[in-house]
């Protein structure tokens, strides 16, 4: 009988150890069987994570700004017509850039984007025929957007907001 109990306990321990904590997320660091200080390896490496703090650099940031007048490999946007809509003289280019094929699929893609981004203000057929109230609501919002770009400390009148922003 005793053996049956022992076997039962063994089976329980086995089941818990195999299935018990599956999917559980532990927040504390794992137990180190071979601690780094005793068995140096490459488990812990001095490195800086993106957007982390660094005492090494004067500005306190781990990230380094790209060297001025350099472009990341593969990120050079040489084609002015495609990227800026300008020609070699810097004037607005005419027609579509060479790499662009205007076919039905391309236009449908444009329709899709227009419907998402432009239709609410410019209307279904681009005549701006949305409801009269909505038009004025849009005007109000566009004015607010313009204003938001030109805000200054003088615009903050709320006392609590002033304090939060460190204004006197
Ligand atoms: C928040 C509303 C809003 C959205 C969204 C919007 N527009 Fe406009 N758009 C306006 C307003 C308002 C004007 C008029 C601005 C003015 O005349 O000062 C305008 C003007 C224009 C003009 C100039 C029209 C002319 O006759 O001179 C073009 C072109 C245009 N929008 C294209 C677009 C496109 C393309 C999109 C989508 C990618 C878009 N707009 C999204 C509100 C909007």
**DSSP string of 112-142?**
HHHHHHTHHHH-TTSS--S-HHHHHHHHHHH
Nearest-angstrom CA–CA distance, 65 and 70: 11
What value, to the nearest 5°, has the Cα angle with vertex 97 and ends 91 and 101? 155
Q: Output the tens digit of pLDDT for each of the chain's 168 residues.
A: 788 999 999 999 998 888 877 878 888 887 888 888 888 887 777 888 899 999 999 999 999 888 999 998 999 998 999 999 999 898 999 999 988 999 999 999 999 999 999 998 888 888 888 888 888 888 899 898 888 888 888 888 888 888 888 877
pLDDT confidence of residue 120: 85
pLDDT confidence of residue 21: 78
Distances (CA, A) of 3 to 8, 10, 14, 16: 8, 10, 16, 20
Nearest-angstrom CA–CA distance, 105 and 19: 52
Ligand 1 in contact with 130 (CB < 6 A)?
Answer: no
Residue pair 70/77 in contact by the 8 Å Cβ criterion: no
| Candidate from 92, 111, 122, 128 with most ligand 1 atoms within 8 A of CB, to mutate | 122
pLDDT confidence of residue 107: 93
What is the position in ligand 1's atom list of the atom closest to the CA of 113?
Answer: 38
pLDDT confidence of residue 25: 84
Measured in angstroms, how far is the CA atom of residue 121 from the centroid of ligand 1?
7
pTM of this structure: 0.55
pLDDT confidence of residue 5: 92
């Amino acid at each position: 009988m005793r053996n049956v109990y022992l076997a039962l306990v063994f089976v329980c321990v086995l089941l818990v150890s195999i299935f018990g904590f599956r999917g559980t997320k532990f927040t504390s660091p794992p137990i180190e069987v071979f601690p780094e200080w005793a068995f140096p390896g490459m488990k812990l490496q001095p490195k800086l994570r993106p957007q982390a703090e660094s005492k090494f650099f004067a500005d306190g940031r781990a990230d380094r700004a790209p060297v001025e007048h350099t472009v990341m490999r593969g990120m050079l946007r040489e084609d002015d017509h495609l990227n800026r809509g300008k020609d070699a003289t810097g004037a607005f280019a005419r027609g579509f850039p060479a790499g662009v094929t205007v076919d039905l699929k391309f236009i449908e893609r444009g329709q899709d984007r227009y419907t998402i981004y432009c239709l609410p203000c410019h209307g279904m057929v681009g005549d701006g025929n949305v409801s009269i109230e909505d038009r004025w609501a849009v005007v109000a919002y566009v004015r607010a957007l313009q204003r938001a770009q030109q805000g200054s400390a003088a615009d903050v009148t709320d006392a609590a907001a002033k304090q939060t922003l460190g204004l006197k």
